[in-house]
Amino acid sequence: MSIKDIRSATLGAQNKFRTEKVKHGDIEVEVKQLSYADRTALMEKCTEGDKLDSLKLQVFAVIYTVVDPETGDKVFSETDYETMVQQPSGGYVDTFSKAAFKVLGLSSEEGEAEKN
């Protein structure tokens, strides 16, 4: 395979972001993978000094990745953060963040990149 073929298959390929449909109660949402740039911005937003804030990561992962399955529009915005952190544990934030961590390649237990 030539360099041209490799570049065409990688850099020239159409972006295909993974999605996962997630149900919580009677609702279904879609969780959409972020680009590297957006995932890095998410991680930077949730890091203070050299410490990752797992609460911020969990909530902002939901805010950044959850979309309406029919339109692709984001369901939540950053203005929802304070309301979301007050939700019961085990609720929709946990349900959606587990799926978000999966499509982002993050570990839900550690809140960091998975090691293969």
Q: Supply the pLDDT for residue 109.
A: 54
Task: Indicate the DSSP class of residue 90.
Answer: T
Name the H helices within 28-80.
Answer: 36-45, 54-65
For the chain, the structural domain boundaries read 16-104
The pLDDT tens digits for 23-61 are 999 999 999 999 999 999 999 999 999 999 999 999 999
The model carries a pTM of: 0.84
CA–CA gap between residue 31 and residue 96 (Å, rounded): 7
Tens-place pLDDT, residues 79-115: 999 999 999 999 999 999 999 999 998 875 544 443 3
C-alpha span between 100 and 58 (Å, rounded): 9
Other Cβ atoms closer than 10 A to 15: 6
pLDDT at 108: 56
Angle, CA 44 vertex, CA 22 and CA 86 arms, to 5° = 50
pLDDT at 98: 95
Q: What is the CATH T-level fold of the domain 16-104, as seen in this structure?
A: rbstp2171 (3.30.2220)
